[in-house]
Chains A and B, each alone.
Chain A
C-alpha cells in the first residue's frame, strides 16, 4: 500500500482506542480509497495526483478517527454492575450477622465460605466478560445434546465421585463448593436453545417442530432432576426466547396465531408440569393449598408460609419483629435463613425500610437488565442476554414473593443476596457473559456472504 494511504489509515486508527476494530475499519476505508484512486486514474490522473486528490476528498483523518472512536467503544452497564455489587456487599454483611445469631444455627463457616464463593465468582465473571461469546453460537446444538446426555448420565451415577444426592436433589459437590446439577444444566440448555433459535433461517414448520421437540425433551429430563424450580425457570426462559423470535419475524406463520398457540400451549404444559409435580410428591399440592389458608396448616405444611407472613406483617418500618424467635427456646422460627429467607430475616430484624430498599435494588436490576438487552441488536447476543435476564428476573420475583409471604416455599433464592454456594459462582458466570455481550453491542461483527 502506498505510503500516504498507510499514513492516512494510521492517523485514523490512532484515534480509535478499541484495537480489535482496527482491522475491520482499515479494510473498509482502504477499499474506498482504492476505488477512488482507480477512478481518478481512469480519468487520466497520474498515480500521485490520484492519491493526493483521494486523500483530500476523504477529509481530516483525525476527525474521522475521533468520530469512529466514539462509536466503537466497548461499554459496561454500570447500573447493573453497581446494583449487583451493592447486593454482594449486603450479602456479606447479613451473612455475618446471621452467623453471629446463635439462634439461627447457621454454622460457623457461612461468612467465610460466602466470601470465597464471591471472590471465585468475580474471577469467573471476569473470564466470561472477556470471552468472545460469539464463538459459542456454532456449538449450540452440540451443547444442547451434551447437556441432555449429561443430565441422563448424572441420573445414573448419583453417589459416584462428585455427584451426590441429598433428599433426591442431585448435587455436584467438591469440598467447599456445591451446586445442584439442575442449576448447572438449566442455563446450559437455555443458552444452547438461544443459539439454535438464532440459527433458524427459514422459520418453516420443520423448524418450529424441532424447537418444540427439543424444548419438551429438555424440560422432561430436567424435571427428573430436583428441584423443580429450575425446570420452571427454564420453561419461562424458553417462553421468552420463542416470543422474541416470533416478534422478530423468525417464523413464516402469522405472529398472532403463533403467540396464541405458544401461550396456550405454555399454559397447558404448566398445568401438566404442576400435575406431574403433584403426582411426584403429594405435599406439593398441600403447599399450594396452604398459600390460600396458611393459618389452618400453620403447624404442618403451612408452617413456613404462616411464619413468614407473621414476621413481615408484624415488623415495623425501622425495628424488629417480635415473631422471629420461638417463645420458649429462643430459636429462630424459620429454617434456611441464610439461603431461602434472607430477605425475611432482614425485614424481621431490621424492619421494612431496609427491606424496601433492597427490594428497590432488585427491581432496578430486573428493569435495567431487560432494558439493556433490548438495546442489543445482534441476533445471538440479544437472545442469550434475554435468556440470562429472564433467569435472574424470574428468580428474583419468585424468591422475593416467597420472602414476603406471598408465594409458597420453593427452591428459589435471591441471586447475589443469599448464600447460594455454587449457584453464586454460576450466577456470576452468567452475569459476566451478559455484561460481555452488552460490552460488544456496538462493535460491528459483520458476516461474510458465502
Chain B
C-alpha cells in the first residue's frame, strides 16, 4: 500500500543516515536500497533525494567524495560522519518514542 508522502518526508533523514551507517553509498544506490529493504513500500521521488543529501552534507552529518569505479563512471559517494551518527541515534530514539505513543493511542487503549 502506498504510504502518505508526509509521513515519509519526516523520516527520510533517519533512513538515509541509517543506510550510510552501514556503508558508503551514492545517490542511485540509496534509492535502490530503500526500495529493496522496505519491500517496495518506500518509493521516493528520486530527485528529492539530492537536496536532502546536500543539506546533510552542509550540516556536517555526511561527507561527499567522488570515486571512480571500474566502469570509469565517476560517482559521488557519501559517508556518514561522527556527528551524523549522533543524529541518527537521536532520530532513532525519537522515532521509537513516537511510534510507541501512537501505538498506545490506537492500539486498543479505551478512551474513557
Tell me the A residues contacting B by CB distance below 8 Å: 25, 27-29, 31-32, 34-36, 57-61, 63-64, 67-68, 70-72, 249, 377, 441-442, 444, 446-449
Interface residues of B in 50-65 (CB under 8 A from A): 50-51, 54-55, 57-60, 64-65
Instruction: Flag if A59 contacts B66 (CB, 8 Å).
Output: no
Among the stretches B71-79, B90-98, B101-109, the one at the interface with A is B71-79
In the complex, which residues of chain A have a beta carbon less than 8 angstroms from the beta carbon of B68? 448-449
How far is A377 from B82 in the complex, measured between Cα atoms in Å?
Answer: 13
23 contacts between A and B (CB under 8 A): A25-B50, A27-B76, A29-B47, A31-B27, A32-B27, A57-B45, A58-B45, A59-B45, A63-B47, A64-B47, A64-B48, A67-B48, A68-B50, A70-B51, A71-B54, A72-B54, A249-B82, A377-B58, A441-B58, A442-B58, A446-B66, A448-B68, A449-B66
B-chain residues with CB within 8 Å of residue A63 when the two chains form the complex: 47-48
In this complex, the member of B50, B65, B74 whose beta carbon has the largest number of chain A beta carbons within 10 angstroms is B50
CB nearest to B54 among chain A residues: A71
Interface class of chain A by DSSP = helix
- In the bound complex, do residue A58 and residue B46 qualify as a contact, i.e. CB atoms below 8 Å apart? yes
Cβ of A59 and Cβ of B47 under 8 Å apart? yes
**B58 and A58 within 8 A (CB):** no
Contact of A446 among B58, B59, B76 (CB under 8 A): B76
Q: B26 to chain A: which residues have CB within 8 Å?
A: 31-32
Q: Does B67 contact A (CB under 8 A)?
A: yes
Contact B48 A34 (CB under 8 A): no
- Minimum CB–CB distance from A21 to chain B (whole Å) comes to 9
B50 x A64 contact (CB < 8 A):
yes
Give every chain A residue within 8 A of B60 (Cβ-Cβ): 377
Q: Mark B1-37, 1 if CB is under 8 A from A, else 0.
A: 0000000000000000000000000111000000000
Q: Is the Cβ of B55 less than 8 Å from the Cβ of A71?
A: yes
List of B residues within 8 angstroms of A57 by Cβ: 45-46
Residues of B within 8 A of A (CB): 26-28, 45-48, 50-51, 54-55, 57-60, 64-68, 73-76, 82
Please name the residue on chain A nearest to B60 by beta carbon: A377
Residues of A close to B51: CB separation below 8 A: 64, 67-68, 70-71
- Could you tell me the distance between the alpha carbons of A73 and B64 in the complex, rounded to whole angstroms? 18
Contacts A32-B28, A377-B59, A449-B65 aside, 8 further interface pairs with beta carbons under 8 A come to A31-B76, A34-B73, A58-B45, A59-B48, A64-B50, A71-B55, A442-B58, A449-B66
Name the residue of chain A whose CB is nearest to the CB of B49: A32
Considering the complex, give the chain A residue whose CB is closest to the CB of B32: A39
Q: Which residues of the partner chain A approach B65 to less than 8 Å between Cβ atoms? A: 446-449
Shortest C-beta distance, B100 to chain A (Å), equals 32
Q: B67 CB to closest chain A CB, in angstroms? A: 5
A444 touches B57 (CB 8 A): yes
State A72–B64 Cα separation when bound (angstroms).
Answer: 15
The complex places the Cα of A373 from the Cα of B64 at a distance, in Å, of 21
Q: Given A64-B51, A446-B65, are A27 and B74 neighbors across the interface (CB < 8 Å)?
A: yes
Q: Are B46 and A31 in contact (CB under 8 A)?
A: no
Min CB distance, B25 to chain A, in Å?
12
Q: Which residue of A lies closest to B27 (CB)?
A: A32
**Structural contact, A36 and B28, CB atoms closer than 8 A:** yes
A32 to B28: give the CA distance in the assembly, Å.
Answer: 5
Closest CB in chain B relative to A10 CB, distance in Å: 14
Nearest CB of A to B73, in Å: 6
CB distance from B29 to the nearest CB of A (A): 8
| Inter-chain contact B75/A31, CB cutoff 8 Å | yes
Whether A58 pairs with B66 at a CB distance below 8 angstroms is: no
Enumerate chain B residues within 8 angstroms of A71, measured Cβ to Cβ. 51, 54-55, 58
Q: How far is the CA of A34 from the CA of B51 in the complex (A)?
A: 19
> In the complex, what distance in Å separates the CA atom of A35 from the CA atom of B49?
15
